[in-house]
Amino acid sequence: MGMREENAVEVHDIKKCFKVYADHAGQLKERILFWKRNRYEERKVLDGISFEVKKGEAVGLIGQNGCGKSTTLKLLTKIIYPDSGTIQMNGRVSSLIELGAGFHPDMSGRENIYTNAAIFGLTKKEIDARLDDIIAFSELEEFIDNPVRTYSSGMYMRLAFAVAINVDADILLIDEILAVGDAAFQAKCFNRMREIKASGTTIILVSHSLGQIEQLCDRSIWIHEGKIKMEGIPRDVHPHYMDHMAEMTERAAEKRRQEEARKAEGNAAEEQKNEAKEEKAEQPAEVKENPQRYGNRKAEITSISLNRPDKQDCHTLHSGEDAEIVIRYKAHETVQKAAFGIGIFRNDGVHCYGTNTVIDQLEDFDLEGSGSMTVRISKLPLLQGSYSMDIAIECDQGIPVDYYKNAIQFEVTSRLSEAGVMRVEHTWELEKQNG
Amino acid sequence: MIKLFKDIYDYREMVFSLVRRDLRGRYKGTILGFLWTFINPLLQLVVYTLVFSNVLRMGIEKYYIFLFVALIPWIFFSGTITGGCEVILGASNMVKKIYFPREVLPLAYTISSFVNMLFSFIVVFAVLLFSGYGVDPMALLYLPVIMIIEFVLALGMALLFSALTVYLRDLQHILGILMLAWQFLTPIMYSEDMVPEKYMGIWRLNPMTSVITAYRDILYNKQPPHINTLAEAAILGVVLLVIGEVVFRLLQRNFAEEL
């Protein structure tokens, strides 16, 4: 079966099961005793995957842990073989899956370059030609003749990466290894990857960093439960993937909440029994008695929900998109000169933002009966992470009516990998002066 | 087939580097270091000579030379099998994580054992010359031929057992006994004519019989080996290499999962 001229990789309908042994029957005794019943479970990892990669194209494989993306890469590397289906590759393949394979601690950095590069299939002549580049890239000139066991782990990885990245391959397979060394070295590695791509090398990259894939790859392939769920331009595929991931986290969070609620209900039921029946029947079901809640309770927060444009009542918000917080209340008696406040905290305790209706100079209002207060946020500036929110109703310059700490927890997801607490709106402008 | 040769040829530097590492690592940390390559066979010769010249008299002229020229090739062969069976297991980290033709591992091990035998042959020649036993230059021309045949045979066995051991780890221990039995079933300590006629068929099936006979013809009898002996050894060697490689190819597909 021939390959098409323009393709570097053709994968056709590969399937792969792993046998998960209850315990390994590598010993003769076990092989004989349990000849008929080698206990293992078959776990289907890949269930019919087909794709093609053109020469010079860079493709990113994305998906949750255990979705089969690393297995696909291992199959391409020929470390393992598919149960059915075919894989064809055209050109010299180099895989950056394991760094520093065959490094010997007692040998010098220089000697290890030779051993390691030999494992990648380079001949002595080829290694000689690359030696200076490799040493320069690793920034280990002074230490190159010391035994590798004297290296720090950072130096070790730098050397390993320098060898791996200087192996000229037609097809380069990379598994999640651009996270080597300090930030400066990482940037250097990434730039080198771009150079490699520009030189026409075909790249297949497995990464959790969608940003990296967007910067490097022409196409993303999203693998979900052993099948290709979607493929296309990274910027088109990733939003769908992000939504899916958010849904998954939300579902998990929902489950956790339900369990907690069940536990809390159990506790509450017991308390009720013990304490006889007080006015507790008045309590709204959604908001439970909580030590993190205080105030004179002339009015109460009955429920809180988070909305985003595409979904009501969610627990995941997207960075940079609009969001709404709806606070529903019930006043048992009239609260004069009321004020609402919110405080947002990151899960490490950083107070990200806090404000209230007085600070925001809303006109004074009184609370009677029930109703809701909605906070609209445009372009949520929070970055990826877990957050919680305090919500309060106050009256007359800060007397707490219902101060509810940790009233709601939520996640923020982001498609960019900015760092810090919040997004600062900005633009860049480069001005070059000649001479 | 051609692809396999090309693949291994592409990875020749890896073979060399493994051989270098193995030879260098073998006596690493010992005081005498590389000298052990020569001392070991010499000491063995002393032990065998003491026992067989004084206690178990075989009635063979110059018995120590008779034995020595057969023992050194045997040590290479048996060492390649008992040590070679562990090479895939020993490199499990590499096998699980990166691609290279897996044949490289048993091949490198066989080569390094072979190189070790060549060093031992320096001792063999020293003994032959200093004892005044001498060598026959014409017969010596056949020495490289039989060495290559034995190498092919040993490589076949290393491929076979290194692959089998991945699936059946007991082999590491079974092989120790197996090689001892094999040694006694091969005319090393005795000559081929001492084997009773009716069992000769079994001895002929043993590929090492013709190999050892050829070594002994060349170095002890000082005559070119019989062409039949060489042909037999060569055919068995190639057949076993093919079997070894076929089994290896078959089993290597699941190495990464079994390790």
- The secondary structure of A326-354 as a DSSP string is EEEEEESS-EEEEEEEEEEEETTS-EEEE
**CB atoms inside a 10 Å sphere around CB A119:** 25
62-121 in chain A: CB under 8 A from chain B: 74, 77-81, 93, 95, 97-98, 101-102, 104, 114-115, 117-121
- Written as six digits, the tokens of B7 are 């693949």
Q: Chain B interface residues facing chain A, Cβ-Cβ under 8 Å?
A: 10-14, 16-17, 21, 93-100, 167-170, 174, 253-254, 256-258
Residue A131 lies in a domain: no
User: Same domain, yes or no, for A311 and A219?
Assistant: no
Nearest-CA distance from A152 to chain B in Å?
21
Condensed to tens digits (0 to 9), the pLDDT of residues A196-208 reads 888 889 999 888 7
Q: Cα(A339)–Cα(A265) distance, rounded to whole angstroms?
A: 31
Q: Which residue does chain B place closest to A121, by CA atoms?
A: B11
* Count of domains forming chain A: 2
* Count of domains forming chain B: 1
Residue A189 predicted with pLDDT over 70:
yes
User: Same domain, yes or no, for A297 and A407?
Assistant: yes
Residue A389 lies in a domain: yes
Which structural domain, as residue segments, surrounds residue A330? 293-416
Taking the Cβ of residue A353 and every Cβ of chain B, the question of whether any pair is shorter than 8 Å is answered with no
Q: Which of A120, A168, A170, A171 to mutate to test the interface with B (most CBs of B within 10 A)?
A: A120
Residue A55 lies in a domain: yes
Q: Quickly state the pLDDT bin for A32 (edges 50, 70, 90).
A: low
CA A415 to chain centre: 10
Which structural domain, as residue segments, surrounds residue B108? 2-258
pLDDT of residue B238: 94
pLDDT of residue A178: 60
Residues comprising chain A, all counted? 435
Q: What's A370's domain CATH number?
A: 2.70.50.60
- Written as six digits, the tokens of B73 are 């090739």
- Written as six digits, the tokens of A379 are 């372009």
pLDDT of residue A179: 61
Helix (H) or strand (E) holding A129: helix A124-138
Cβ of B13 within 8 Å of Cβ of A26? The answer is: no
Residue A33 predicted with pLDDT over 70:
no
Nearest 5°: the CA angle B81, B84, B85 is 85
Mean pLDDT, rounded, of chain A: 82
Of A18, A31, A119, the CB nearest to B257: A18
pLDDT of residue B244: 94
Condensed to tens digits (0 to 9), the pLDDT of residues A220-251 reads 999 988 889 988 888 888 878 887 887 787 78
Q: Quickly state the pLDDT bin for A160 (edges 50, 70, 90).
A: confident
Q: What's A184's domain CATH number?
A: 3.40.50.300
Residue A347 lies in a domain: yes
Cβ of A28 within 8 Å of Cβ of B17? The answer is: no
Q: Quickly tell me which residue has 């030609």 as its tokens.
A: A129
Inter-residue contact A414 to A318 (CB < 8 Å): yes
Q: Cα(B129)–Cα(B120) distance, rounded to whole angstroms?
A: 14
Domain boundary among A213, A242, A271: A242
pLDDT of residue A386: 84
How big is the A-B interface in CB pairs under 8 Å?
71
Question: Cα–Cα distances in Å, from B197 out to A275, B193, B204, B214?
Answer: 104, 8, 11, 20
* Chain A hits for B95, Cβ within 8 Å: 79
Residue A23 predicted with pLDDT over 70:
no
Express as a percent the part of chain A with pLDDT over 90: 11
Helix (H, G, I), strand (E, B) or coil at A267: helix
Give, for all 259 residues of chain B, the pLDDT tens digit. 778 888 888 888 889 888 988 887 777 667 777 788 888 888 888 888 888 777 777 777 888 888 889 999 999 999 999 999 999 998 888 888 888 889 999 999 999 999 999 999 998 998 889 888 888 888 899 999 999 999 999 999 999 999 999 988 888 889 999 999 999 889 888 888 888 888 887 787 888 999 999 999 999 988 888 888 889 899 999 999 999 999 999 998 888 887 7
User: Same domain, yes or no, for A227 and A298?
Assistant: no
Helix (H, G, I), strand (E, B) or coil at A90: coil
Per the DSSP assignment, residues forming a β-bridge with A220 are A60, A232
Residue A10 predicted with pLDDT over 70:
yes
Residue A210 predicted with pLDDT over 50:
yes
pLDDT of residue A34: 56
Averaged over A164-172, what is the pLDDT? Answer: 83
Q: Which of B6, B9, B99, B168 to mutate to test the interface with A (most CBs of A within 10 A)?
A: B99
Residue A372 lies in a domain: yes
Residue A388 lies in a domain: yes
Condensed to tens digits (0 to 9), the pLDDT of residues A258-313 reads 887 787 777 766 666 655 444 444 444 344 455 678 888 888 898 888 888 888 88
pLDDT of residue B234: 93
Cβ of B99 within 8 Å of Cβ of A78? The answer is: yes
Taking the Cβ of residue A18 and every Cβ of chain B, the question of whether any pair is shorter than 8 Å is answered with yes
Averaged over A31-54, what is the pLDDT? Answer: 75
Nearest to B184 by CA among B157, B164, B162, B202: B202
Q: Lowest-pLDDT range, A172-181, A302-311, A338-347, B105-114?
A: A172-181
Nearest 5°: the CA angle B249, B250, B255 is 85
User: Same domain, yes or no, for A300 and A216?
Assistant: no
pLDDT of residue B105: 94
User: Same domain, yes or no, for A192 and A326?
Assistant: no
Q: Cα(A96)–Cα(A119) distance, rounded to whole angstroms?
A: 12
Q: Cα(B62)–Cα(B52) distance, rounded to whole angstroms?
A: 11
Express as a percent the part of chain A with pLDDT over 70: 88
Backbone angles phi, psi at A137, to 5 degrees: -65, -35
ipTM: 0.74
Cβ of B17 within 8 Å of Cβ of A78? The answer is: no
Cβ of B16 within 8 Å of Cβ of A31? The answer is: no
Nearest-CA distance from B7 to chain A in Å?
9
